[in-house]
Amino acid sequence: MDQDSSNGPQVDGPLAVREVEAAFLVVREGDPGDWLARFEKGGGFPARAWAENMVAVYNRRLRGRDAGPPTPPDARLDGHHSPT
């Protein structure tokens, strides 16, 4: 793993969500036994949604890191609009 975040991701490969009895775990696809983040179930907290979103965002960035420069925060994307 790369310790300098300016050179790329610190986790090798894509992430996945793994469900256990009390939580949803964010794990590396290559090593699902070693979790990186844990979202506890219960209390009305949307643990599954948080875990799935974390995985989706990371994997999307991982796939797109060689696709060109990142989109500036103030850029308008087709089909999207700024909140009013």
Q: Is residue 3 part of a domain?
A: no
Number of structural domains (the chain) is 1
Q: Rounded CA gap, 83 and 80, in Å?
A: 9
* Structure tokens that stand for 27 in this block: 């794990």
Q: Is residue 28 part of a domain?
A: yes
Q: Is residue 5 part of a domain?
A: no
Q: Is residue 2 part of a domain?
A: no
Q: Is 26 helix (H, G, I), strand (E, B) or coil?
A: strand
Q: Is residue 39 part of a domain?
A: yes
Q: Is residue 25 part of a domain?
A: yes
Q: Is residue 26 part of a domain?
A: yes
Q: Is residue 14 part of a domain?
A: yes
pLDDT values of the chain reduced to their tens digit, one per residue, 84 residues: 444 555 666 788 999 999 999 999 999 999 999 999 999 999 999 999 999 999 999 999 998 865 556 667 777 766 555 554
Give the distance between the most distant pair of CA atoms in the chain.
Answer: 43
Residue 51, domain extent? 10-64
Backbone φ and ψ of 12, nearest 5°: -80, 125
Q: Rounded CA gap, 71 and 65, in Å?
A: 11
